[in-house]
Structure 1
Amino acid sequence: MTTLPYGSALIIGAGPGISGSLTRRLRAENIPVVIAARNIDKLANLVDETGAIALPVDASDASAMHTLFAQTESRIGAPEIVVYNASGRVRGPIAELDAAQVEQAVAVSALGAFYAVQQAARRMVPKGKGAILLTGATAGVKGFALSAPFAMGKFALRGLAQSAARELAPKGIHVAHFVIDGSVRSDQRADPADAPDSTLDPDAIAQTYVDVLRQHRSAWAWEIELRPWVEKF
């Protein structure tokens, strides 16, 4: 039996990092989970390990997102937890960036998040229950040089979260934005031996997501900032 007040979950933009850790935590609570990504081949090991259901989606496409939610609903019921982890990133000098690549990057980070929130709200508001978690980054608080498209998308994501929280919280929907302020460790990015815990542990991030899901509505957080203990403010 789950200790969480929700019974099903959809994670969009899934991968082996934060999404993988969160999938394991939710499945440990016996919550059915759909994990969605553009390329679901990379999710095979996670599916085998957890029993989660993998579905393909182009998060930047409104009709594809509509289909994803419909497919999710047919497989596990309307998702009561929706997590948006997808983001687009393209780097380079502003004067040299390709406009089409910038448009696609912002579409994934921002428009895709809007489509997810919209589809989630349509299902959650009538029930007066649900949680929408949006994964942000340092770039949503301060834009870095040579990273304008990422900053544009993440700033938009944060604005969406703030607006959606104000609109949907009074209707029983918990909207929370997570500022991931630092590098997340992975098999490709190990924690330096000479600087322990200088990167964010994805399992620790997932634990915070679960802690937010357990919050009582009298003290809901709309934004949580997570950083390693050595990260500069």
Structure 2
Amino acid sequence: MSTLPYRSALIIGAGSGISGSLTRRLRAENIPVVIAARNVGKLSALVDETGAIALPVDASDASQTAALFAETDKRIGAPEIVIYNASGRVRGAIAELDAAEVERAVAVSAFGAFHAVQQAARRMIPAAKGAILLTGATAGVKGFALSAPFAMGKFALRGLAQSAARELTPKGIHVAHFVIDGAVRSGQRADPPDAPDSTLDPDAIAQTYIDVLRQQRSAWAWEIELRPWVEKF
């Protein structure tokens, strides 16, 4: 039996990192999980391991997001947890960036999150219950050189989270934004031998998401910052 107050979950922008760790934690709580990405083939190992359901989506497309939620409704019921992990990134000097690529990056990071939050709210408001978790980054509070599109998208995501929290929290819906302030550990990005825990462990990140989902409504957090102990503020 689950120790969480929710019965179903949808993760958009799924992959092997944070989303993979979240999928494992939620499935360990016996919560059915749909994981969605543009390329569902990359999710096959996670599906085999956890029994999650993989569905395709271009998160920046409103009609595809609506279809994803409708299919999720059929497969596991209306999702009571919605986690948005998708983001778009294009690097380069402002004077040289391709405007179409910038538009695409911002559409994935920010406009796609709006589509997801809107679809989630339409289901959660009548039930007066639900949790919407949005994965942000350092770029959402500090824009770096040569990374304007990522900063634009993540700043917008943080604004969406803050606005949605103020609107939806009184309706019984927990909205939380997570500032992932540092590099996330992976098979391609391991800690140096002389600097243990200098990257964020995705399992530790997932644990924090789970802890937020367990929060009692008299003390809900709307934003959490996570950083390795060596990361500078």
**TM-score normalized with structure 1 length:** 1.00
Structure 2 CA distance, aligned partners of 1:13 and 1:192?
Answer: 28
What amino acid sits opposite 1:115 in the alignment? H
Report SS of the residue matched to 2:135: strand
CA deviations 1:126-160 (Å, max 9, x no partner) are 00000000000000000000000000000000000
What amino acid sits opposite 2:93 in the alignment? P
What amino acid sits opposite 2:88 in the alignment? G
Within 5 Å, give how 1:67-216 maps onto structure 2: 67-216=67-216
Q: Percent identity?
A: 88
Structure 2 CA distance, aligned partners of 1:217 and 1:191?
Answer: 37
Structure 1 CA distance, aligned partners of 2:197 and 2:12?
Answer: 27
Return the offset for 1:105. Answer: 0.1
Return the offset for 1:41. Answer: 0.4
Structure 1 CA distance, aligned partners of 2:86 and 2:141?
Answer: 18
Return the offset for 1:191. Answer: 1.2
Report SS of the residue matched to 2:95: helix
Return the offset for 1:121. Answer: 0.1
What amino acid sits opposite 1:182 in the alignment? G
- Partner of residue 62, structure 2: 62
In structure 2, runs of 5+ residues without a counterpart are none
RMSD over aligned CA atoms reads 0.2
CA deviations 1:22-61 (Å, max 9, x no partner) are 0000000000000000000000000000000000000000
Within 5 Å, give how 1:45-56 maps onto structure 2: 45-56=45-56
Structure 2 CA distance, aligned partners of 1:190 and 1:56?
Answer: 29
Aligned length, in residue pairs: 233
Dislocated runs of 4+, deviation >4 Å: none
**TM-score normalized with structure 2 length:** 1.00
Structure 1 CA distance, aligned partners of 2:192 and 2:42?
Answer: 26
Structure 1 CA distance, aligned partners of 2:100 and 2:38?
Answer: 18
Return the offset for 1:97. Answer: 0.2
CA deviations 1:192-231 (Å, max 9, x no partner) are 1110000000000000000000000000000000000000
- Partner of residue 14, structure 2: 14
